[in-house]
Amino acid sequence: MELAYYSDYAVRLVNTEEPTRNKDSLTSVEAVRELFGTASQMARRTTDADVTRFRSVRGRLRGVFTAADEGDHTRAVDLLNSLLLEFPVSPQISGHDYLDDEGRPRWHMHLADHPSNATAGYAAIAAMGLAFHLTEFGADRLGLCQASPCRNAYLDTSTNRSRRYCSDRCATRANVAAYRARKRLEAERSAP
């Protein structure tokens, strides 16, 4: 199963909102459909009611990332378990058109997206992907960007568990700000 692919559903949804900047890009059916990508059947089933439901799931997923970021791994797991109970998944074996060297399908697991509405399908996949990521790599691999005021969610896939930023852009911005702060402090100390 493509763990990174499914857990990315959660990251994409959480990052549609920037609470510290009062920005929310999840404002229309089209914005919800963009989360699925172009090939998903569930995206085509999205309705106006899904916008509100997606926002609710987004807040709950952000709670998982926040708890993990704060080191409260038990709370993160409890919040994620409540999502898993509410939005169960349907595993499905798939082979698509991929063939191995001997012409046989390369069987792999997928999470089927045929629930009652678009939100339930997306939430089930996002929660299960995040659960796989958390159990495989640990709750400390779920984080919120340390670059102020960003606070976007990310999955730490670094080899040494050192990721602190959601993107290279935020890392660069934080490093430049820290460098300028050090230079200002040096200048203040060396001033007569």
Instruction: Dump the DSSP string for 51-83.
Output: HHHHHHHHHHHHHHHHHHHTT-HHHHHHHHHHH
Which of the two residues, 100 and 113, has the higher pLDDT score?
A: 100
Please determine, for residue 62, whether its predicted confidence score (pLDDT) is greater than 80.
yes
| Rounded average pLDDT over 14-41 | 89
Q: What pLDDT sits at residue 117?
A: 86
Q: How far is CA 96 from the centre of its chain?
A: 25
- Asked if 169 contacts 155 with a C-beta cutoff of 8 angstroms, the reply is no
Mean pLDDT of 109-126: 81
pTM: 0.85
Range in 6-10, 93-97, 153-157, 184-188 with the lowest mean pLDDT? 93-97
The neighbour count for residue 99, using CB atoms within 10 Å, is: 11
Instruction: Identify the pLDDT of residue 110.
Output: 76
Residue range 72-99: mean pLDDT, rounded? 88
State how far the Cα of 188 lies from the Cα of 112, in Å rounded to an integer. Answer: 60
2 pLDDT exceeds 60?
no
pLDDT for 3 beyond 60: no
Q: Is the dihedral of CA 79, 53, 11, 84 positive or negative?
A: positive
